[in-house]
Structure 1
Amino acid sequence: MSFDLPRNIILPVDAVDVRLDPGPHPFARDNERAIAENWQREIEANPALFDGTVVLLSALAYRDRRLVGRCHAVNYSTFMLWRKRRENSGAEHAYAHAMLVAGDNALVAIRMGPHTVNAGRVYFAAGSFEPIDFRDGLVDVDFNMMREVGEETGIDLSGAQRGHRYYALSSPSGTVIFRHYRVAEPADEIARRISAFVATEAEPEIEGPVIIRHASDLPEGLMGYMKLLIEWHFAGSGQDPSGAPSFR
């Protein structure tokens, strides 16, 4: 199976069947020394980094509106070396975005904090899949989305309306799986709540909220793939005949 899916287009996804393989990822197994040496350089440059556990894919395919794949738990230090050696590595990265839609149809993203790997970059609150995000070996995408949004912004999405399906945007640098999540409050109120939460954190992951009100409202520091997601949202994609995002 390896990596077999269309690149650089937004794909509708009815199910995500990505399973956690208990064995080591070949990239981690074959690069132990290089991983350790690179990690030493990384923490010298940024002592705030933590060598936790994330997952890397060893296979991913798009079949009949399904994402089917296999991944392995790796140390964050492995992920950091992989970022530098992606080409022909036999590994890829997938992550999930809850596309937070306010009651006034604005999008609410975040800007990452200065001590993080993506300092100053703007995207929807998110983080890599971790072993905690799997149920009986199968990834629970919505659990990951809600967990990351809660940890970074303090916003509880358990009562939000979910879009009726996932979508995915894949490139050799990574695959983002995303879904609309709508809350009733206007964007300004959501941003106020996020800012208040960040102010209570000793070491917040994010600098603060970023409101995006239309397709050309592209903030400085925006991650490259985000432009396509923003244009997709404001073009009415994933919406019902009334012109509003389709939720269930």
Structure 2
Amino acid sequence: MTQSVIHRVTALDLGFVPRPWPFADERRAEISAHFAIKQQERPIWNGRVLLGRDPVFTAGRLRASYFETDFASFLAWRDWGFPDAGVFNGFGMGALRCSDGAFVLGEMGQHTANAGRIYFPGGTPDPDDIRGDAVDIAGSIAREIEEETGLTPADYRPHAHWDCVVSGSALAMIRILDIDLAGEALRARIEANLARQDRPELSAIHLVRATRDLTAAMPRFVTAFFENQFAT
């Protein structure tokens, strides 16, 4: 099991610095071949994503810099065991917490790159999340939540802090978002929104109220967050 460390911060200082990625340049032919195989398995698109370097936690703040690359390179880096150890996948996630204490998570559909995985709404940031020379993780979360669930920022209240879960080459910036609905009511609302979509990202909605609700389909950064949450 991957050892995870949680840093609680109140500020994210995430700069965007365009730079080449030697891994992607030097292994381009292998990456293209790998992506072609993945596209045969499911229809995925080679869009653009942002990856991070040089994370530093100090005095309630996370500092790091991001650069842009293509999804094919990201996927190969992930599937091949993260060969460039100086790079991390730093993404935001919205931990929707209902009025009865239940947390809401989504199960990724079979047509997605993470089929069957269960986690909070969120995802690897992309160029749409760049604001000037910074990466807006809060904005990335809001966009992903609306795309996946239909909820907008008017529906929830964000906590002031972030739980940054470092798990291997993943850095999940998780923010609790309180919502004034009970778990079953919110699940029904999200399911109704999914039913209106032609190709929803999510195939099911799961509720977590205690560690007994955790499953092997949840990544380590999710289970580590819950273990810490329910222990306090």
User: What's the TM-score once normalised by structure 1's chain length?
Assistant: 0.87
**Deviations 1:141-170, CA, capped at 9 Å, x for gaps:** 111111101101112233411112112011
**Deviations 1:104-161, CA, capped at 9 Å, x for gaps:** 1110111110111211111101111111112112111111111101101112233411
> Superposition RMSD on alpha carbons, in Å?
1.6
Whether the 8 Å CA contact 2:107–2:203 is kept in 1: the answer is yes
Query: Which letter does structure 2 place at the counterpart of 1:135?
Result: R
Q: Which has the higher contact order (CA 8 A, sep 6+)?
A: 2
In structure 1, how many angstroms separate the alpha carbons of the residues matched to 2:210 and 2:4?
Answer: 22
**Deviations 1:42-65, CA, capped at 9 Å, x for gaps:** 11222x101111111232222222
Question: How far apart are 1:219 and its partner, in Å?
Answer: 3.7
Q: Does structure 1 residue 71 correspond to structure 2 residue 39?
A: no
- Give the equivalent residue in structure 1 for 2:208: 212
Q: Across the two proteins, how many residue pairs are aligned to each other?
A: 229
1:50 to 24, 45, 49: 45
Query: Which letter does structure 1 place at the counterpart of 2:47?
Result: G
- Give the equivalent residue in structure 2 for 1:197: 193
Aligned-pair identity (%): 26
Q: Does structure 1 residue 167 correspond to structure 2 residue 163?
A: yes
- Give the equivalent residue in structure 2 for 1:122: 118
Whether the 8 Å CA contact 2:4–2:220 is kept in 1: the answer is no
Whether the 8 Å CA contact 1:54–1:129 is kept in 2: the answer is yes
Question: How far apart are 1:231 and its partner, in Å?
Answer: 2.2
- Give the equivalent residue in structure 2 for 1:145: 141
In structure 1, how many angstroms separate the alpha carbons of the residues matched to 2:33 and 2:154?
Answer: 41
Question: How far apart are 1:31 and its partner, in Å?
Answer: 2.3
Which has the larger helix fraction? Answer: 2
- Give the equivalent residue in structure 1 for 2:24: 28
Query: Which runs of 5 or more residues in structure 1 are unaligned?
Result: 1-6, 237-248
Query: Which letter does structure 1 place at the counterpart of 2:190?
Result: I
1:183 to 168, 179, 182: 179
Of 32-41 and 186-195, deviating more is 32-41
Whether the 8 Å CA contact 2:4–2:168 is kept in 1: the answer is no
User: What's the TM-score once normalised by structure 2's chain length?
Assistant: 0.92
Q: Does structure 1 residue 112 correspond to structure 2 residue 108?
A: yes
